[in-house]
């Protein structure tokens, strides 16, 4: 598939020209960028998805929420509302989008807001709620805001340094933008990754002197969760169930479940999929449905016997403390 996409290189060159012109306008000050006198952390990537932004954002929430009042600001992809929306008790996937709704559902002691205009969203949060830190979810390419601390994510199996611009590749921004990251995190690393692999990746990434590179993996929980109950993952052994995914790269989850000896039907949908009434009807006939936490936000009120498998982000090679200290160090200086 990737070889086939290379015939689209002329269109990638055209797309790249537009992106470079846009960055030039910002760099020359023709289009204005705004920075803030309080902590703003950006989590993002250069590609179109599948780098693990949601687990990293949740990692930051856990790290910061006990000492700082955290606000998460997202664009709310595929929501049906408009403008600035602050999550409250009446919020739904339709008003927030799936990922912000996941944050709101999971963390009751933080602010969650959505606004396609990140600058506008930050200013409303600042003026009305005065959070201790704003975490921008998926905003690395948004030049209207200059974050104080930038975390760039890239997937182990699809490094940005090896990729091409859309449509020939998966990059939505030019590779040189990586130099503005304070931290680069290689996500979704294999369980058995060793120091030789780590050093080889560092050579390929070629971080700048001001940048730290960390490596992380996704770890899956040992329990599946529904609105009614929590069951051990082994509950699915010997039972017929259907795995439903609406994420960019479901292979790690599929491989994990197979490694546990589970047998299942897999229904794979596009990222942030909005399930139609016909698709929901099909899922209702499937019996037990297992899905991701993000997709669960869309399905929990529509399908009866639906569970999600929680995931966590783990920093590898004993470098978690260094990563945490770097983030906290920025918070203290900002």
According to the annotation, is 132 in a ligand binding site? no
CA-CA distance, 91 to 86, in Å (whole number)?
Answer: 8
Two tokens at 192?
């058995």
How many residues make up the chain in this entry? Answer: 334
Identify whether the C-beta of residue 37 lies closer than 8 Å to the C-beta of residue 291.
no
- Identify the CA nearest to 158 among candidates 58, 98, 271, 248: 248
- Identify the CA nearest to 147 among candidates 128, 159, 133: 133
According to the annotation, is 277 in a ligand binding site? no
According to the annotation, is 155 in a ligand binding site? no
Q: Residue 12: CB partners within 8 Å, gap ≥ 6?
A: 164, 165, 166, 167, 168, 169
According to the annotation, is 47 in a ligand binding site? yes
Residue written as token pair 């294999």: 190
According to the annotation, is 157 in a ligand binding site? no
Pairing of strands 85-86, 111-114: antiparallel
Q: How many CA atoms lie within 13 A of 81 on its CB side?
A: 21
According to the annotation, is 48 in a ligand binding site? yes
According to the annotation, is 35 in a ligand binding site? no
According to the annotation, is 135 in a ligand binding site? no
Annotated binding residues, written as ranges, equal: 47-54
Annotated binding residues for ATP, written as ranges, equal: 47-54
């Amino acid at each position: 598939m990737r070889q086939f996409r290379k015939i689209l290189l002329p269109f990638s060159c055209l797309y790249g020209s537009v992106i470079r012109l846009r960055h030039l306008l910002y760099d020359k000050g023709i289009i204005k960028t705004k920075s803030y006198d309080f902590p703003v952390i950006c989590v993002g990537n250069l590609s179109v998805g599948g780098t693990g932004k949601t687990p990293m954002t949740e990692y930051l929430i856990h790290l910061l929420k006990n000492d700082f009042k955290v606000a998460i600001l997202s664009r709310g992809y595929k929501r049906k509302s408009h403008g600035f929306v602050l999550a409250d008790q009446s919020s739904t996937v339709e008003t927030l989008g799936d990922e912000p709704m996941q944050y709101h559902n999971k963390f009751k002691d933080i602010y969650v807001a959505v606004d396609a205009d990140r600058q506008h969203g930050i200013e409303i949060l600042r003026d009305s709620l005065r959070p201790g830190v704003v975490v921008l979810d998926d905003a690395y390419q948004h030049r209207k805001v200059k974050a104080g601390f930038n975390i760039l994510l890239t997937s182990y199996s699809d490094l940005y340094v090896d990729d091409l611009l859309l449509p020939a590749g998966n990059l939505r921004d030019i590779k040189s933008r990586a130099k503005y990251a304070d931290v680069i995190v290689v996500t979704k690393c294999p369980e058995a990754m060793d120091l030789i692999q780590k050093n080889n990746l560092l050579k390929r990434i070629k971080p700048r002197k001001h940048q730290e590179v960390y490596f992380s993996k996704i770890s899956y929980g040992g329990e599946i969760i529904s609105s009614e109950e929590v069951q051990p993952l082994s509950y699915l052994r010997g039972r017929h169930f259907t795995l439903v995914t609406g994420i960019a790269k479901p292979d790690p989850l599929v491989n994990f479940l197979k490694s546990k000896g589970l047998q299942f039907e897999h229904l794979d949908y596009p990222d942030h999929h909005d399930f139609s009434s016909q698709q929901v009807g099909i899922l209702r006939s499937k019996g037990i449905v297992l899905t991701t936490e993000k997709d669960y936000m869309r399905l929990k009120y529509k399908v009866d016997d639906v569970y999600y498998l929680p995931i966590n982000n783990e920093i590898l090679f004993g470098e978690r403390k260094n990563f945490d200290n770097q983030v906290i160090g920025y918070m203290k200086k900002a």
